[in-house]
Structure 1
Amino acid sequence: MVRCLALFISLAAATSLYATHYDGNIYTLSFDSGNSLSITSSLKTCGDAPSWLTFDSSTRTLYCSDHSGNGTINGSLSSYFVNQEGKLTELAKTVDVGSAVHSTIYGGKHGREKYLAIAHYGGSALSTFTLPLSSDKEALQDAPHPHQVILDPTGDFLLIPDLGADQVRVYAIDQHSGHLNVCPSLNYTPGSGPRHGLFWKSNLSDSAQAPVTMLYTLSELGGHLSAFVVSYLSSGCLGFGETQSFVPYPGGQLPAGATPAELAIAGNYLYASIRFDQGFPPNDSIATLARSSNGTVTFSQITSSYGTIPRTFAANKKGTLVAIGDQGSSNVAIVRRDSESGNLGKLVANLQVGQPGQASNSSTGLSSIIWEE
């Protein structure tokens, strides 16, 4: 009886994470209260190259996008029910544009339908699907050139960083139909290559100042983090006023060959992954950026990614842990995070997931990591 009770307590204290790997698997990971990280299952699914996961906690549905295909050869989109033990059961699989790299859920206001928007980098497309997904469902809409899909704080706009065109494309969402209406794009200096971005909205409790909505973007080619004040225009579109642009790295300059990749937020801090810098040899880096109440960002800290080519990372809901998915070394590293200072601390768990990737091949190695929360 005591042993059974201890097992129950251990299972209850464990948290699940999910990782995709370009070997064709979705991996279920378990992180327990003893800081032990392990693979509990793997599922060969989601096409030849699973690349990105989006979890809908309200329905316990996991959506997986396939990186295989190139715009002329199709990839796939799959959905799974996730039980309380982290087991995946496939619900639907449908054909989608190839080379998917990111997705997000939008819609659902006032009981209306939800939709999934998917960015296809190699396929130069944005596809959207009505949810729940069914195996015979076709894309609702296509639009060109995304690398990520960003939902604004109101839920009324989708932004698409277009690395190749040096733009962030802006779409207004028709909440009745899910259709995306084109708005004027946010344009960058040629050669910038905006890759990832996120919104932040202040509130009255932050300061005595009026609330402000900010957009932060990270440019892969130019190496800059840019900050914009966002305005909601009477035309039904968005306006952007740039307030900052700087290289988020010690000394304000990246080492030769280094590039920023993903951008994330937790509390009052932004985090940018830095690939190919070997700032902590042989490992790459994560940059921490402090955000003030008026939206201004300053460089704060550089720490190890505990692997090579950090492609994706995510903080848990409490903001006390960050899971880093390193594509090149194909490992998941979990580090402490101080929720007050925002600083990333010591490594508490590290796990090899699948075979290491190749620096010369962006379609190998670990491709995404998320918490189930």
Structure 2
Amino acid sequence: MDSSNSAGRAFIGSFTSAGGRGITVAAVDDETGALTALGTTDAVPDPSFLALGRGTGPGGAVLYAVSEMEKGAAAALDISHDVPRPLGETRQVDGDGPTHLALAGGHVLTANYGSGSVTVLPVLADGSLGAAGCVLAHEGSGPVTERQEGPHAHQVLPDPSGRWVLSVDLGTDSVRICALDPATGELRPHGETALRPGTGPRHLAFHPAGGHAYVLNELEPTVTVCRWDSAAGALEAVGEAPVLPTGASGGSNPASYPSEVVVAHDGRFLWVANRGHDSISVLTLDATGEQASLVTTVSCGGHWPRDLALDPTGRRLYAANERSGNVSWFTVDPETGVPAPEGSLEVPAASCVIFA
């Protein structure tokens, strides 16, 4: 089947080293949100995170994937058919264990967890990737010695204004702000925001109004609320909120490692995926975006939810449950923000979900 019109498609990454199929393409039912697998490719080893961009090929859209290997790489894929096809060369990122990637200023940037660095690769005219042109190494460490012996860049993304690139580092308890030169691909350090030591920031998400960001911490089940000044490129931590009920992890309960944070399109709710606790947390946001309050948690529909994604309509959430090998989907109550389970698709070693 030809899927040159990529509307109604989801792309699911998985760990091939743990029995995953690589990248799965799924059709998304407009009425129910149900996923139906269309095709898979293992052309990219361990494609743990994906992003969509544009190219000049038949379908226009291009899929980008990290290869989360010791010697990390990034790849572009043509998705004009139901089985993605490599587009151009797979490129080394000159870093170890890339866990995240994003597009900014005509480049793909990868966050390299193992080496604690961010790599910039140019996007060529056809959507394929050029060789790495800039690698910015982070420095520092944190008090949790078994996890924070050095820098561990876990996420990199542009801010809503497109003026800045932020990288979240679990190993240094900080978020770095850089400026990207679109002409040269040079990443220039601008500032660094220190967060509470030992929290292990993993990912952040911006409020739709653009003035706040929510940093999810992996080593403590909390979210740090920050003000974001896009004119100055300044991030300021102003508070924290728990993402699990008191006593939900620790003691006789399994440890929990939050993995992903998602903000509602209207800015009223915030959702968090929790590995170990195997739940989705629902938090409300006040009108300013500065106060986050935990409301409840619901089952993630599997085990070890590594990723959480909101569909383009904002009506459904999808959890990629790595260890149970499935992607589960939920309908979100528009009044309460609480997700209700609707179904599940088997995807061994699932790691992320994105939508066209």
Asked if these proteins are the same fold (TM beyond 0.5), I'd say: yes
Which residue of 1 is the match for residue 196 of structure 2?
Answer: 189
SS of the counterpart of 1:50?
A: coil
* Length, aligned pairs only: 322
Residue in structure 1 matched with residue 136 of structure 2 by the alignment: 142
Are residues 1:245 and 2:240 paired?
Answer: yes
Structure 1 residue 250 displacement after superposition: 2.5
Alpha-carbon distance between aligned partners in 2 of 1:237 and 1:12, rounded to the nearest angstrom: 37
Matching residue within 115, 120, 132 for 1:128: 120
1:287 aligns with 2:281: yes
Paired letter, 1:303: V
Amino acid at match of 2:10: L
| 2:37 matched residue in structure 1 | 39
Residue 264 of structure 1 is matched in structure 2 by 262
Q: Is 323-332 or 12-21 further displaced after alignment?
A: 12-21
| Superposition deviation, residue 294 in structure 1 | 0.7
| Larger Cα-atom Rg | 1
Q: Select 2:295's aligned residue among 275, 297, 300.
A: 300
The within-5 A match list for 1:204-243 is: 213-232=211-230, 237-240=233-236, 242-243=237-238
The residue that corresponds to 1:353 in the other structure is 347
User: What TM-score comes out, normalization by structure 1 length?
Assistant: 0.79
- The 3 A distance-change label for structure 1 pair 239 and 311 is closer
Which of 77, 88, 92 is residue 80 of structure 1 equivalent to? 77
> Do 2:134 and 2:187's aligned partners in 1 also have CA atoms closer than 8 Å?
no
Structure 2, unmatched stretches of 5+, are: 139-151
- 1:367 corresponds in structure 2 to 351
Aligned partner letter, 1:314: A
In 2 relative to 1, CA 294–135 (structure 1 residues): closer, same or farther, beyond 3 Å?
closer
User: Paired residue for 1:172?
Assistant: 179
Contact 2:122 2:129 in 1 (8 A): no
Say if 1:150 and 1:198, in contact at 8 Å, map to a contact too.
Answer: no
**Letter matched to residue 169 of structure 1:** R
Instruction: Determine if the alignment matches structure 1 residue 16 to structure 2 residue 9.
Output: yes
Residues 1:102 and 2:100 aligned together:
yes
- TM-score by structure 2 length? 0.83
Q: 1:34 to 1:230 in 2, by over 3 A?
A: closer
Cα shift readout 1:209-245 (whole Å, capped 9, x = no counterpart): xxx7112111111222111122356xx54141x3221
Q: Structure 2: how far apart are the matches of 1:247 and 1:237?
A: 27
Counterpart Cα distance in 2 of 1:195 and 1:219: 6
Unaligned runs of 5+ in 1: 1-6, 108-113, 203-211, 278-283, 355-364
One-letter code of the match for 1:80? Answer: L
What secondary structure does 2:261 align onto? strand
Corresponding position of 1:65: 66
Find the counterpart in structure 1 of residue 49 from structure 2.
Answer: 52
What is residue 25 of structure 1 aligned with on the other side?
22
Shift in CA distance, 146/201, structure 1 to aligned 2, threshold 3 Å: same
Q: Aligned equivalents of 1:323 and 1:131: distance in 2?
A: 29
Task: Return the alpha-carbon distance in structure 2 between the equivalents of residues 315 and 201 of structure 1.
Answer: 13
Q: Give the superposition deviation at 1:129.
A: 0.8
| Cross-structure match for 1:116 | 108
2:148 is aligned to none
Aligned mates of 2:292, 2:185 — CA distance in 1: 34
Cα contact 2:136–2:187 (8 A) shared by 1: no
Q: 1:91 aligns with which of 63, 71, 87?
A: 87
Of 315, 319, 327, the residue aligned with 1:332 is 327
- Distance in structure 1 (CA, Å) of the matches to 2:112 and 2:288: 34
Number of the residue aligned with 1:207:
none
**8 A contact 2:261–2:272 mirrored in 1:** yes
Contact between 2:6 and 2:61, CA under 8 Å: does it hold in 1? no
1:217·1:227 contact (CA, 8 Å) conserved in 2? yes
